[in-house]
Amino acid sequence: MLDDTKRAEPDAAQSDGTRRTTSFPLALFLLLGGIISAAQLGKAFVAMPLIQAEMHLGITIVSFIIATFATLGALLGMGLGLVLRRIGARRSLVGGMCIMAAGCVLGAIAQTPEALIASRIIEGIGFLAAVIVTPDLIGAVSTSRDRNLLFGVWGVFMPTGSALMLLLGPVLPLIGWRNLWLSQAVVAMAYALAALAMLPRGSAPTGDRGPSLIEAARSVLADPASVLLAAVFGFYTFQYFILAGFLPVLLVGTLGLPLSTATLLTAGVVIANAIGNACAGLLSRVGFPLWISMTASLSFYALSAPLIYSAGVPAGGVAVISAIAIGVAGLLPGSVFAAVPRLVRADLVTPTIGLIQQASNIGQFAGPVAAGLFVSLFGWPAIPILLIPVALIGLVAVFLLKPKLTG
C-alpha cells in the first residue's frame, strides 16, 4: 500500500517473501498529474498574444502575468515541501489539483490584468502542492533499480505540459483563451477525482513523520548537495522561461509570424526540451555522468543566445537554434531529479525537492521579469547580456557539485 508520509524502502521484501516491483501504471499516472500541472503554466505562453491584445497590455505587464505563477514557490518552496510531507502526499496532490481548478475558473472570468495575476498566483499554489510531493510518490511506487529512470523521466512533465498547450495555438483564436482556462479547470478536477480512486490511503498517516520542520530545514540547507542542486535548477529555469515563455511573443511581435505558426514552432521547441528530459533519465540509468549532462545544458544556452536574439536571424532559424539549445538543455531537469535520491537521505527527499522547486520558481519569476525589463529598455538583442552570465554562474555550481556526483 502506498504510504502518504514515507518513501518505501528500495526493493523491500514483502511479508510473503516476494520482492516488491515497480508499479509503472501508477508512475505514469503520477507523471500525467505533473503534465496537467505544467499545462497551467504553458497555457499562458500560448494565450499571451490574445490576452495582450484583449487587455491592451505592454510587455512589462505580460512578463508579470507569466512570472506570478511562480510567486509563492519562489518565497516558500522548501517550507511548503516540509508542510506537505506532514499533510500527506496523496492529500497534497488531490488538494493541489482542486486549487489549480479554482484558479483556472477565476482566471477565466478575470476582467483586469490584476485579477488575472491574482488567479495565476492561486494556480501556482495548486501547482506547487501537486508537483512537490509527486517525486516522493514516484519513489514509493518504484524499486531502486527503476527509481533513477523514473526520476529522470519525471522532468518531462514541464515541457510536455507546455507543449500540449502550445499545440492548441492554431485553434485558440476560435475557442478563446477563457474557454481554455475553463477546460483546464475541468481537467484538473477530473484528475483529482481519479487520484482519490487510484492512490490508496497511507497505512499510517499519523505515524512517525521524520524530523521537525526546523530540523529538516536546517538539514537541507546545511547539505551542500541539496543547495547546489537547487541553485543549478534555478539558473536553468531562469533561462528556460525567458526562451520558452517569450518565444511566441518574439515570433509574433518582432518577426511577424501569425499566432498559429508561432505557437506550433514554439511547441516544437518545447517538445525538443521534453525529449532532452527523457534522454536524461535513460542516460542516468546506463551510468552516464550527471554532471556532464548539466554542463552541456547550461553551455548550450550561453552559446545559442546571441544567435536566437540577433536581429539578423530569420524566424525559421530562430526556431531551429532554439530547439537545439532547449533540447540539450532538457538534460538538466532529469539529471537533477535523478541526483536527488543519490545524494539525499530518504526523509529529506520531499523538502529537498521543495528547495529545488523554490529555486525553480525564483528562476521562473526572475527570468521573465528581468527579460521584460531588458526588452523594454534595450530591445531583444540585449537578452544575451542577461543570459550568458547566468549560464556561467550555473556552470560554476555544477563544477562544485561534480565531486559529490562522481564520488
Has residue 165 been placed in a domain? yes
Task: Tell me if 302 is assigned to some domain.
Answer: yes
What are the angstrom distances between the C-alpha of 15 and each of 9, 12, 18, 19, 20? Answer: 14, 10, 7, 9, 10
Q: Residue 261 sits in a domain of what CATH number?
A: 1.20.1250.20
Q: Could you tell me if residue 7 is inside a domain?
A: no
| 309: in domain | yes
DSSP H or E segment with residue 246:
helix 224-249
Q: 5 lies in a domain?
A: no
* 178 assigned to some structural domain: yes
The arithmetic mean of pLDDT across residues 223-249, rounded, is: 87
pLDDT at 15 exceeding the cut of 60: no
Mean pLDDT score of the chain, rounded to an integer?
A: 81
Each residue's pLDDT tens digit, 106-144: 999 999 989 998 999 899 889 988 988 888 888 788 777
Average pLDDT over residues 381-403: 89
Rounded Cα–Cα distance for residues 386 and 371 (Å): 8
Q: What are the DSSP E strand ranges found in 3-108? A: none
Distance CA 213, CA 216 (A): 5
Number of domains in the chain: 1
Distance of CA 150 to the CA centre of its chain: 15
Residue 207 lies in a domain: no
Among 162-171, 178-187, 388-397, top mean pLDDT goes to 178-187
Q: At what angle do helices 89-108 and 113-140 cross, to 10 degrees?
A: 160
Measured distance CA(342)–CA(119) in Å, rounded: 37
With CA atoms as reference, report the closest residue to 63 among 385, 365, 406, 397.
365
Domain membership of residue 17 (yes or no) is: no
The residue segments making up the domain with residue 174 are 24-202+212-406
As given in the structure block, the three cell numbers for residue 264 are 506550433
Per the model's pLDDT, the better-predicted residue between 42 and 8 turns out to be 42
